[in-house]
Amino acid sequence: MLFAFLFLVSLAAGLYPAIIMSGYEPAKVLKGELSTRNLGAQRMRKVLLVAQLSASIGIIIFSGILFQQLSFITHKNLGIDRENILRIEPTYNYSNNTMPLKMNYSSILK
């Protein structure tokens, strides 16, 4: 299934430029006699090409920065021992009357 999909995509990717290029007459292209009536379309293609290349360069730079930041986060020494951590989930009962809770945990921590 994947092979068939890849085959169809590569066929379509190669077929489109072939159809476009077959519309040109080689003798006129080599002489430089291409029609200049589509200056707006040529300008639009250039603008879109610059926009696409700028976006791809931006994505590459962003992914590099993101990789560096994630590497920094995972390798940074936080200065704490992760084995000796006590996590307390607050509930409504504890939030109203915290004194017994503090007394209980202060006896554990001593």
What average pLDDT does the segment 26-46 reach? Answer: 74
**Residues 45/51, Cβ–Cβ less than 8 Å:** no
Place of tokens 């939030």: 95
**Residues 76/83, Cβ–Cβ less than 8 Å:** no
* Higher pLDDT among residues 110 and 40, named by residue: 40
What average pLDDT does the segment 40-66 reach? Answer: 92
Arithmetic mean of pLDDT over the chain: 81
Q: Using a cut of 0.75, tell me whether the model's pTM lies above it.
A: no
**Residue 96: pLDDT over 70:** no
